[in-house]
Amino acid sequence: MPVEPHHLLLFILVMAVATFITRAAPFVILKNRGDHPVIEYLGTYLPPAIMLLLLIYCFKDLDTNKHLPGLAEGVSLATVTVLHLVFKHPLLSIGAGTACYMLMQTA
């Protein structure tokens, strides 16, 4: 059974509205609570915790059967860290670290 174009457009419209509502709801609900201690606590400690979880996730499938296990990952992590500490430009450090990892994986 073929999908009609107006069904696809309706689906896209519904998903766009749902996405907008989920993105806007926290700002509408919490607009007068920006100084609440829980919000300040989460704003302070949640970003580093998320970054740590992402780092753990990235290293969970480390292939230890290679001759030098983790070399590409370690060099790429060091590249990201040094570039971010020196230049404080996330796009530069993430891009260079990704390029470093991809180049080391092909070698």
- Convert the chain into a string of H (helix), E (strand) and C (coil): CCCCHHHHHHHHHHHHHHHHHHHHHHHHHCCCCCCCHHHHHHHHHHHHHHHHHHHHHHHCCCCCCCCCCCHHHHHHHHHHHHHHHHHCCHHHHHHHHHHHHHHHHHC
* Domain ranges, residue 80: 62-107
Q: Which pairs with CB-CB distance under 8 Å and at least 24 residues apart come from 30-37? A: none
Does any domain span residue 33? no
Does any domain span residue 80? yes
Does any domain span residue 54? no
Q: Please tell me the distance from the alpha carbon of residue 104 to that of residue 107, in angstroms, as a whole number.
A: 5
pLDDT at res. 95: 94
Does any domain span residue 25? no
Angle among Cα 17, 21, 26 to the nearest 5 degrees reads 165
For the full predicted model, state whether its pTM sits above 0.85: no
pLDDT in tens, the chain (107 residues): 778 889 999 999 999 999 999 999 988 887 776 677 888 898 899 999 998 998 899 888 887 777 778 888 899 999 999 999 999 998 999 999 999 999 998 86
Does any domain span residue 71? yes
Tokens of 29: 């609900």
Does any domain span residue 100? yes
Does any domain span residue 103? yes
Does any domain span residue 72? yes
pLDDT at res. 10: 95
Domain count, the chain: 1
